[in-house]
Amino acid sequence: MYKDYQKIESKIQNQQNFNLLNNLLKEIEKESLLSAILLSKNSQHNLKEVKRQRQNIDSFIKKNSYILETKELSLITKELKSVRETIDKASFYYLTVLSDSYHKKIIQEIISYMDTLASSENKINELKLIQLRSNLNLEDSFLAFILLKSKKMERQDLLFWESILSKRVLPDFISSNNILDWDTFSKIGFNEHVQLFLDSKTGEYSLSFKRWSYLAKEKREKIKEVEDILIYRDSVILDKALLLKESEMNKYIIISLLLLLLLGFILSIIYILSKVKSDRVFLKNTLKEIKIDLDSKKKKALEKIVNSNNTIEIYKFLADEIKEPSRAKDLFLANMSHEIRTPLNGIIGFTKELQETNLTNEQAEMVLIIEDSSNNLIHIVNDVLDFSKLKQVK
């Protein structure tokens, strides 16, 4: 269950990475187009635009470096640095920069990596659209250089243009899903294409770069509309799957908690029952020991209480039996104190009488010892008597 949940989370993460890579591609495609404009017309404004776009891409890569494996990321940043240095030195052939450096070594490498993340049908179809957009961008960059430079197309230029058009793959899912009128899309800029080809022999183009940029932007917007639909569909599918798995996991968690509570309740009952049983065994053995010292009347009373299974009465009976010997002991101590005190008082009295008679020194010393011992003994008896009185008060 949890593994299925993790798989869906992994798909969602791949989808997010896929979308981030697509955003990176759009930024690199924009840099490629701006670089073509700069190559055709080197002005401070165009240079400023290129540098700003470079900073945007560098910032994006730094912020989202986790979306590419270390090896792929290092290769892409290396190629970006290389193509930028080539453009800045102005020592190159423009088709090499547009086709080999930007398109093949950077854009196509990112698309290849995105192919490993396209796990759903929607993402596979979206990748086809990205390939189409990339092809359109390559043509836009090429024609931007030609139009702004008013360059007459040589044979190699025409072959390059033809190779771009020959690699343009039309996604087969578009017409079957009715999410884009492909006939309408194909007609955008068709007449302009024909006119560009006718004017390419002289380099005197009736189509302005501004007009071509407008047509190219219209195509990109159409592609974006389809992309947004596919992204939304994929998100809905994954969100539903994730919610379903979360619901299933919550059910299992609740059931597990209920089972744990039930198990704890059962264990508590077992513990209580075992404790009660242990207490009863102990009470039974205690009653047997006490029963030996009871008279016949109390034995019958105890048997009657035990047979009634009244635990409170049993404990009350035991408490009374414990208190009774204690009371008898206190009474014995009090009586003994009185009994001992009486003859002691007689001894002390006669000792005083003897002290008043004519005694030898040795006899007087003995009488003094008897008097001291008697006084000590009577103090002890008084303490015992006071202690027994105190307990009786309590």
pLDDT reading at 246 higher than 90? no
Question: What's 369's domain CATH number?
Answer: 1.10.287.130
Q: Within this chain, do residues 217 and 90 fall inside the same structural domain, yes or no?
A: yes
* Distance from the first to the final alpha carbon of the chain: 70
End-of-domain residue from the set 175, 205, 239 = 239
End-of-domain residue from the set 239, 263, 294 = 239
Provide the residue range defining the domain that includes 13.
2-239
The mean pLDDT of 310-317, rounded to a whole number, is 67
pLDDT in tens, 190-229: 999 899 999 998 989 999 999 999 999 999 888 888 888 8
Q: Within this chain, do residues 234 and 321 fall inside the same structural domain, yes or no?
A: no
202: burial class by Cβ within 10 Å (0-12, 13-18, 19+)?
Answer: exposed
Q: Assess if residue 277 is contained within a domain.
A: no
pLDDT reading at 391 higher than 60? no
| Among 23, 49, 22, residue whose Cα is nearest residue 36 | 49
CA distance 252 to 219: 50
Q: Within this chain, do residues 44 and 130 fall inside the same structural domain, yes or no?
A: yes
**pLDDT of amino acid 167:** 87
Q: Within this chain, do residues 223 and 323 fall inside the same structural domain, yes or no?
A: no
Q: Is the pTM of this model over 0.75?
A: no
**pLDDT of amino acid 281:** 66
**pLDDT of amino acid 321:** 61
The mean pLDDT of 182-186, rounded to a whole number, is 79
Q: Assess if residue 265 is contained within a domain.
A: no
pLDDT reading at 50 higher than 90? yes
Q: Assess if residue 275 is contained within a domain.
A: no
End-of-domain residue from the set 212, 239, 266 = 239
**pLDDT of amino acid 27:** 95
Among 86-100, 134-148, 231-245, the range with the most confident prediction by mean pLDDT is 134-148
Among 209-218, 281-290, 346-355, the range with the most confident prediction by mean pLDDT is 209-218
CA distance 370 to 355: 11
Q: Within this chain, do residues 318 and 231 fall inside the same structural domain, yes or no?
A: no
CA distance 226 to 296: 104
Q: Within this chain, do residues 55 and 154 fall inside the same structural domain, yes or no?
A: yes
Q: Within this chain, do residues 190 and 322 fall inside the same structural domain, yes or no?
A: no
pLDDT reading at 46 higher than 90? yes
Residue corresponding to tokens 């490993």: 116
Q: Within this chain, do residues 60 and 156 fall inside the same structural domain, yes or no?
A: yes
The domain tally of the chain equals 2
The average confidence (pLDDT) of the chain is 80
Q: Assess if residue 54 is contained within a domain.
A: yes
**pLDDT of amino acid 285:** 65
